[in-house]
């Protein structure tokens, strides 16, 4: 005769379906390994995402508008420059000149590429690029969580 097992014993691996908790723990661990600069910028990114997190927000569109995301990055960048002493004077000093003379002065031609002009990095700022990357990663995480919340289990 086969005795019936209680319900809790019929499925012996209850934590096998706890992927959300494992993903959150992994995400928090990876964030704890960010460099110091990224750790200082992260609260500003989270604050801006919290401000824009409401139903039907642009961050939840299927294809978010590039201009709206660029404006979010600009607000974060301005807040960081305003509140962080380390970055206040960085606004113009780390941006390379974009003229052809500046490109020719700052770089040495490599002997294996004699006909190629030196690469001009343009008018980019490393802090703004870092903020964009961190913002896009935070938005990706929030969009994924929002999709999970909207799933219905029947």
How large is the average pLDDT for residues 12-35? 80
Cβ atoms of residues 42 and 134 within 8 Å: yes
17 in a structural domain: no
104 lies in a domain? yes
pLDDT score, position 19? 72
5 in a structural domain: no
CA 123, CA 5: separation in Å to the nearest integer? 69
Q: Is residue 65 situated within a structural domain?
A: yes
Which residues are CB-neighbours of 46 under 8 A, at least 6 positions away? 138
**Domain presence at residue 7:** no
In the block, residue with structure tokens 């961050």: 59
In-domain check, residue 79? yes
In this prediction, residue 88 carries a pLDDT of 76
Q: What is the pLDDT of residue 95?
A: 42
d(CA 51, CA 58): 12
How many domains is the chain partitioned into structurally?
1
Full residue range of the structural domain in which residue 135 is found: 33-145
Q: Residue 109: inside a domain, yes or no?
A: yes
The pLDDT mean for the chain works out to 78
Specify the pLDDT at position 96: 43
Nearest to 47 by CA among 82, 68, 24, 72: 72
Residue whose C-alpha is closest to residue 50's, from 27, 79, 19, 84: 79
Full-model pTM: 0.67
95-128 pLDDT, tens per residue?
444 444 444 444 545 555 555 444 545 556 899 9
Q: Is the pLDDT of residue 5 over 80?
A: no
Residue 18 lies in a domain: no
pLDDT digit string, tens, across residues 53-93 = 998 899 999 999 999 999 999 999 999 999 988 887 765 44
Q: What is the rounded distance in angstroms from the CA atom of residue 127 to the CA atom of residue 40?
A: 12
Query: What is residue 13's predicted lDDT score, i.e. its pLDDT?
Result: 60
Q: What distance in Å separates the CA atoms of residue 80 and residue 41, rounded to the nearest whole number?
A: 7
pLDDT at 142: 92
14: pLDDT strictly greater than 60: no
Decide: helix, strand or coil at residue 15: helix
Could you tell me the pLDDT band of residue 147, with boundaries at 50, 70 and 90? confident
């Amino acid at each position: 005769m086969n005795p019936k097992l209680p319900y809790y014993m019929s499925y012996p691996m209850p934590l096998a379906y706890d992927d959300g908790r494992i993903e959150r723990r992994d995400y928090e661990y990876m964030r704890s390994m960010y460099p110091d600069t990224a750790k200082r910028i992260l609260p500003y990114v989270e604050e801006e995402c919290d401000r824009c997190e409401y139903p039907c927000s642009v961050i939840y569109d299927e294809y978010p508008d590039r201009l709206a995301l660029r404006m979010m990055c600009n607000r974060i960048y301005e807040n960081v420059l305003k509140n962080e002493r380390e970055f206040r004077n960085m606004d113009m000093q780390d941006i390379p000149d974009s003229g052809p003379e500046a490109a020719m002065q700052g770089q040495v031609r490599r002997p294996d590429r004699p006909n190629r002009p030196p690469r001009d990095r343009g008018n980019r700022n490393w802090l703004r690029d870092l903020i964009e990357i961190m913002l896009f990663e935070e938005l990706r995480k929030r969009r994924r969580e929002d999709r999970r919340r909207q799933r219905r289990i029947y």
